[in-house]
Amino acid sequence: MANEDRPSERYNAPDWPAYYCAVARAGPRASLLAALDGFAREPPETAAGLAVDLGCGGGTDTVELLRRGWRVLAIDAEPHAIEFLRQRGDLTNVARLQTQVSRLQHASWPPADLVNASLVLPFLPPEAFMDVWARIVSSLRAGGRFAGHFFGTRDGWATVPGRSHHTREQVESLFTNFDIEHLDEREYTARRRSVPRNTGTSSKSMALTRSGGEIG
């Protein structure tokens, strides 16, 4: 199959099916766990509502959300992601799972208590980023949380065309109407097959709660 015909190449992405296998046993992302910890500190009736898992991949986070009793709408552009997720042996509460194969630029999702976007937003083209971000913010119910990652401008992929990388200041400006509960910024040297080895890369992960009032 020619590169331009491969689904992953259509949205400027690595070999995602191989990635899903590689991280299948890694467990949920720390940013998601931080957001879930936030809900766990609140009254039980708000503890497990509707979560939207944007760029769900092979289900790293979706599986954990379902295990904890959340209803989950899992969205990914890659059909293999949804197939991988639905075939996982550790998938529980499957009746609470809905899936959607769609690029975030074209996806729609209902109001949610939690929008989770682990390692996906940097793959949006810059011209699409703010529209998707605005829809994330407007879909969060009052008191809801966002959890997810951003890649920094010193990241090894920052020079790849069609990606969205952010400075810390730019990330903070996205969250002016949120209470930041957890922010973890790291810079490290990664060894990846899909980029030159020992490429310096930086990423940010965070989990946030919106303030009680209106956003936007």
Ligand X SMILES: C[S@@+](CC[C@H](N)C(=O)[O-])C[C@H]1O[C@@H](n2cnc3c(N)ncnc32)[C@H](O)[C@@H]1O
Q: Minimal distance in Å, beta carbon 182 to ligand X? A: 16
Spatial separation of the C-alpha atoms in residues 148 and 29, rounded to whole Å: 9
Instruction: Give the start-end residues of each E strand in the chain.
Output: 50-54, 71-76, 97-101, 112-117, 140-151, 178-190, 199-210
Instruction: For the beta carbon of residue 209, count every other beta carbon within 10 angstroms.
Output: 22
Q: Minimal distance in Å, beta carbon 145 to ligand X? A: 16
Q: Minimal distance in Å, beta carbon 202 to ligand X? A: 15
Nearest alpha carbon to residue 31 among 203, 184, 189, 135: 184
Q: Minimal distance in Å, beta carbon 143 to ligand X? A: 23
Q: Cα-Cα-Cα-Cα dihedral of 142, 145, 149, 150, to 10°?
A: 20
Q: For residues 23 and 215, which CB has a smaller minimum distance to ligand X in the complex?
A: 23
Residue nearest to ligand X (CB): 57
Q: For residues 60 and 99, which CB has a smaller minimum distance to ligand X in the complex?
A: 60
Which residues make up the interface to ligand X (CB under 6 A)? 11, 13, 16, 19, 23, 29, 55-57, 60-61, 76-78, 81, 103-105, 118-120, 123-124
Q: For residues 124 and 140, which CB has a smaller minimum distance to ligand X in the complex?
A: 124
Q: For residues 78 and 113, which CB has a smaller minimum distance to ligand X in the complex?
A: 78
